[in-house]
Amino acid sequence: MARKLRIGIVGLGGVGAVHLEAYRDHPRIEVVAGAELDATRLRDLAAKHRFNPYADFRRMLAEETLDLVCVATTVATHEEVTIACVQAGKPVLCEKPIAGTVEAAKRMIAAAAAAGVPLFYGATYRFLPAVRRARELIQSGAIGKVLLMREQEVGGTGPEGRHLMGFAHYPKGTPGGSGFGLVDHGIHLIDLFGWFAASPVESVFGRGNLSGETAATEYLLMNFQSGALGHLLYEDATFSTNLPGEGLFSWGSAWTLQGYVPPGQWQAAPGSIHVHGDQGALRIFHYANQLFLTDKDGTRQIALEGRHAPGHFAAQMEACAATILDGAPAAVTGEDGLAALEVLMAAYRSFKEKKVACIR
Ligand SMILES: NC(=O)c1ccc[n+]([C@@H]2O[C@H](COP(=O)([O-])OP(=O)(O)OC[C@H]3O[C@@H](n4cnc5c(N)ncnc54)[C@H](O)[C@@H]3O)[C@@H](O)[C@H]2O)c1
């Protein structure tokens, strides 16, 4: 068997712990070290997952032999941590969004290129089994030409329930806000819609919140070069209009408006993505791990393969291992992270200028 990918993780907060779970007993991935500022959390996770703990990630870089560093720190620190890692000669997988500004993302990409090491981007949704299968179906022509892609997350428990990410992720006054807003969540879908449509975004209109400022419903309309439309709509400070009895059994774990839920739960309003083509349509329950195809022959459920959430983090890291250890092309790069960020930032421009914003 090929050797394991030796990785270190910087940032062992909410998602860092999920990465650790996903890599547990993995035949190809070994977490040898982790760095975290919270001493108690570091100690507990290191004891549970048996890796070498570091309070200072720079010491980890100096002392450990690593094939890759996974950057799962607060968004505002992605640039500093990623650049330090690539300059130490380590390939990096950086969590989404790649950075808080387009300029920072460009500096990260330039630093990795100058150091001659890959910079992978954490477009984790691309590794969910329902999403992967949906893309295969789209590519095989199962729904014809893609016309419209949409996702909405609307619900919550009123204004107090808004899940604010805080200034450590998004400094006061910069784009960001809720964990179910355009920046922190919508960035996944911006990437995915381009991947589904196999086409770049040409122009957008949208509205996003600024961290620490009065929040409003967020939305984004994306006009793709292919003619397809992408639509995102987010509001987590109201209440759901779902009726009792609506819902689905979720096979995978999920980030929901109620927080992170473990696998195998009933969900009243499971997250889903809609893709409409001129020959059919797909309903993708990305975390619940279910996929439905509707066309002129009716609606049927599509069988899925691969590990559901949080296993998609392992699938993502397997793709990094294939590049680093086997020389396969990178599945998702820093440029993909930059492209999604440019679309996102154009939404803020469009709202300010009260007109459709062109990309680049
Ligand atoms: N791919 C996904 O599905 C997904 C899901 C959730 C979060 N995320 C992303 O993961 C990243 C982390 O999010 P989170 O929810 O885990 O945040 P979090 O605030 O729970 O955790 C971040 C951790 O990073 C640590 N940290 C900050 N600077 C550090 C440094 N210099 N050295 C070591 N540790 C440091 C903090 O102490 C904290 O524990 C963000 O970019 C977020 O957008 C991705």
Ligand 1 nearest-atom number relative to CA 75:
41
Please identify which residue in the block is written with the tokens 């070498």. Answer: 52
DSSP 8-state secondary structure symbol assigned to residue 100: S
**Count of C-beta atoms within a 10 Å radius of residue 340:** 26
Separation of CA 137 and ligand 1 centre (Å): 33
Distance separating alpha carbons of residues 216 and 206, to the nearest angstrom: 12
Q: What is residue 245's predicted lDDT score, i.e. its pLDDT?
A: 85
Question: How far is residue 208 CA from its own chain's centroid?
Answer: 18
Ligand 1 pocket test, candidate residues 73, 101, 167, 189, most atoms within 8 A of CB: 73
Q: What is residue 1's predicted lDDT score, i.e. its pLDDT?
A: 57
Q: What is residue 2's predicted lDDT score, i.e. its pLDDT?
A: 75
- Reported as a single tens digit per residue, the pLDDT across 324-357 is 999 999 999 999 999 999 999 999 999 999 999 9
Distance separating alpha carbons of residues 170 and 205, to the nearest angstrom: 22
Question: How far is residue 109 CA from its own chain's centroid?
Answer: 18
Would you say the CATH fold of 125-307+343-353 matches that of 5-121? no
Separation of CA 17 and ligand 1 centre (Å): 10
Q: What is residue 259's predicted lDDT score, i.e. its pLDDT?
A: 84
- For residue 17, give the nearest of 6, 38, 191 by alpha carbon: 38
Separation of CA 11 and ligand 1 centre (Å): 5
Q: Does 122 contact ligand 1 (Cβ within 6 A)?
A: yes
Please report, for the chain, the start and end positions of each structural domain, with discontinuous segments joined by +.
Answer: 5-121, 125-307+343-353
Q: What is residue 244's predicted lDDT score, i.e. its pLDDT?
A: 83
Ligand 1 nearest-atom number relative to CA 184:
43
Are 221 and 205 in contact, with CB atoms under 8 Å apart? yes
Class of domain 5-121: alpha beta
- For residue 197, give the nearest of 93, 276, 279 by alpha carbon: 276
Angle ∠(178,347,275) on CA atoms, nearest 5: 80
**pTM beyond 0.95, yes or no:** yes
- DSSP bridge pairs for 52: 33
Q: Does 42 contact ligand 1 (Cβ within 6 A)?
A: no
**Count of C-beta atoms within a 10 Å radius of residue 281:** 19
Class of domain 125-307+343-353: alpha beta
Q: What is residue 28's predicted lDDT score, i.e. its pLDDT?
A: 96
Ranges of the chain with pLDDT below 50 = none
Separation of CA 204 and ligand 1 centre (Å): 29
